Amino acid sequence: MATQRIDPLAKEPGLADAPAWLTALAPDDRATLLAAIETERARRATELRSAIDAALEHVPWLLRVALRKVLFP
């Protein structure tokens, strides 16, 4: 029985509708694109958290506590 290969990009909500331009990509290239999105997503999340932690070091202790409550409720 033939198995249908699931488009890996279907897992990505913003690209799930598979716009016409995506059909130009081979399945392997789509998988590479999905991996690149995941890598960039993780990199940005880490960068954002590190930057916030570093920024908080620059403000007085009391204000830091208040800011942490705003930033990480």
Partner 1 sequence: MTMARRGEVVKLERVLGGKDLGYLDALDAAGLHALREALSAILFDDAKPVLQRVATASKLLPVSLVAKVGERVFGATLCAQVTGLLAPSYALDLALRMSNPFLASVSAMIDPRSAGKVVAAIPADRIIAVAAVLIERGDFVTMARFVDYLSPATIGAVIESVANELHLLQIGAYVESRTKLRELIGQLALERTRKMLAALRGTDADRWLEALAIAEALDDESRGKLGDIAAELEPEVMRALIAVAKRHGVWESALMFADAMSEVGKRKFFALVHEATEATEAAEAGTLPEAWTPTAGSESFPGSLCRRCTFVRLVQATRSEFIMCTEPTLPKYGPQPVRACRRFVPA
> Least Å distance between CB 42 and partner 1?
10
Distance CA 14, CA 11 (A): 9
Name, in order, each residue with C-beta under 8 angstroms of 34's C-beta and a sequence gap of 6 or more. Answer: 8, 9, 11, 12
Residue 36 contacts residue 28 (beta carbons within 8 Å): no
Minimum Å gap between C-beta 71 and partner 1 is: 5
Give the residues lining the site for partner 1 (CB under 8 A).
12-15, 19, 21-22, 24-26, 28-29, 32-33, 36-37, 39-41, 43-45, 47-48, 51-52, 54-55, 57-59, 63, 66-67, 70-73
Beta carbon nearer to partner 1, 5 or 25: 25
Q: Report CA Rg, the chain.
A: 20
Nearer to partner 1, 10 or 40 (CB): 40
